[in-house]
Amino acid sequence: MNRTGLLIAFAIAVIAGLAFGLYPELDLRISGYFYGFEDPAHNKFAFRFYPFLMRARDIGLWIGTALVAPAVAAFAIKLILPRQKLLMRGRTVVFLIATMALAPGLMANVLLKDHWGRSRPIDVKQFGGNELFVAWWDPRGDCASNCSFVSGDVTGAFWTVAPAALAPPHWRALAYGAALALGTAMAVMRVMAGAHFPSDVIFAGVFTFIIIWTVYALIYRWPRTRLSDDGVERALERTTLPLHDSIAALFARKPKQRG
């Protein structure tokens, strides 16, 4: 999570933004290649029905879930048993849960996919649908919800950069490579399936990386906001202990016996 990675992400955003913004037909040309694949039932974008790709997509989605699950479990146990020490480092719990909530959760599935009306390739008129094609920067498309910009699946796959950032130093380069490979593979599969345009998946990866980089800096790097594992532990205890003790006292109170 150094500045070089952030500069590369911004460079990709600028290049892709200009290329697909000034020449939106690039999205149509690239997606159009996969539109030409047809199955025996004459369905276009036939890769979306290909069993291997369907299974690969499911596996890719479960990888992110499996990586964040220990942090969620540790957080939940701490809420239920606030006097017990966290099963993971406090900053690790905050970092993984926060980045998952902000990138795939808030950014992709709340702010953009339901409010940026760009239609998916399989729905636009150029590929047999009945909706209007718009460039990536234009939110005035015909899609009402669960739209094309950005890809939630790709955001979730690229989120694996977050746990990769916490890998031991001698494994970190390999972890980053695996995370980027997973995100890229998911991006290619979603374009092949006609579910997203290339610009949708590019910006899904860029936005996710920028969110992860910023949260990492807030928690681990910047002095004014940097957290400590003990500080996270104490903050959770201060938040949950009063409620926990109140509930325990309520259940421990014996009902008065009537004479």
List the one residue out of 193, 53, 57, 184 whose CA is nearest residue 120. Answer: 193
Burial of 47-75, coded b for 16+ CB within 10 Å and e otherwise, reads bbeeeebeeebeebbebbeebbeebeebb
- Residue 68, phi then psi, degrees to nearest 5: -90, -20
What would the two tokens of residue 23 be? Answer: 């020449």
What would the two tokens of residue 227 be? Answer: 């957290």
- For the chain, where are the alpha helices, taking DSSP H only? 3-22, 25-35, 51-80, 90-100, 152-158, 161-165, 169-192, 198-216, 229-252
CA distance 247 to 207: 42
What are the pLDDT digits (tens) for 210-250?
A: 999 999 999 999 999 999 999 999 999 998 888 777 776 77
* pLDDT at position 255: 58
108 pLDDT higher than 70: yes
* pLDDT at position 251: 73
* pLDDT at position 55: 96
* pLDDT at position 243: 75
257 pLDDT higher than 60: no
Judging by beta carbons within 10 Å of its beta carbon (0-12, 13-18, 19+), is residue 256 exposed, middle or buried?
Answer: exposed
List the one residue out of 159, 139, 130, 134 whose CA is nearest residue 64. Answer: 159
90 pLDDT higher than 90: yes
CA distance 136 to 21: 7
* pLDDT at position 245: 72
* pLDDT at position 247: 74
CB 204 within 8 A of CB 158: yes
List the domain boundaries for the chain.
3-238
* pLDDT at position 51: 94
Least confident of 53-57, 157-161, 195-199, 253-257: 253-257
What are the pLDDT digits (tens) for 142-191?
A: 999 999 999 999 999 999 999 999 999 999 999 999 999 999 999 999 99
Q: Against a cut of 0.85, is the pTM above it? A: yes
256 pLDDT higher than 70: no
Write the single-letter amino acid at 89. R
What are the pLDDT digits (tens) for 32-86?
A: 999 999 999 899 999 999 999 999 999 999 999 999 999 999 999 999 999 999 9
